[in-house]
Amino acid sequence: MINIIFAGALALISADPFEFRGENTSTVVDTANNPNCMTDDGIVSCAQVASVAGVEGVIYSSAYHEGRLNGLLGQFREEHFLTLLRAFTEKYGEPTMSKEEWRNRAGASFDNTVATWAFSDGTLTLKQIGSRMGNGSFRFTATVNNPPASAPKVDF
């Protein structure tokens, strides 16, 4: 493990790469015939609903560049946050815990619990409140398998 500063908190980087449901950043995944996948700017995104850590109805999307995982985004009902936190901790080790302010459209603010795991190939965050109140989220962002930057499309 290597100590680093992440979002103002001390985090440990695992020497291990990220793995989720058998997928990782080094394995090539064939998405060609998957009807749940779509392609946009060289990134293939595949969405599915599955049971994760015994929590039914978790919606998640895996993103691939040249067949290799480069990101993952999941959403779940907020009441399952602690179940997923315990399961992720069991699998990935102790996370770095923090709080962030979350605001709704009316401007009310709430404390949002965030767990962060750092891997040799990216970062996983688990948030009690995701994009909207009542939903939690998890996101893996890879530091590998990213498409090359392209010039912005100026079509206006």
- 9 inside domain: yes
User: For residue 4, is pLDDT > 60?
Assistant: no
- 79 inside domain: yes
Per the structure, the count of domains in the chain is 1
Q: What pLDDT is recorded for position 11? A: 59
Element (H, E) at 74: strand 68-77
Please give the residue range of the domain that contains residue 72: 2-114+123-142
User: For residue 5, is pLDDT > 50?
Assistant: no
Which of helix, strand or coil describes residue 2?
strand
- 150 inside domain: no
Segment 27-67, tens digit of pLDDT: 999 998 999 999 998 899 999 999 999 999 999 999 999 99
More confident residue, 103 or 75: 75
- 10 inside domain: yes
- 89 inside domain: yes
Q: What pLDDT is recorded for position 6? A: 42
- 148 inside domain: no
At residue 89's C-alpha, the angle toward residues 1 and 133, to 5°, is: 120
Segment 66-92, tens digit of pLDDT: 999 999 999 999 999 999 999 999 999
Residues in a beta bridge with 72: 62, 140
Whether the CB-CB separation of 112 and 49 falls below 8 Å is answered with no
- 156 inside domain: no
Whether the CB-CB separation of 120 and 68 falls below 8 Å is answered with no
Confidence (pTM): 0.84
- 147 inside domain: no
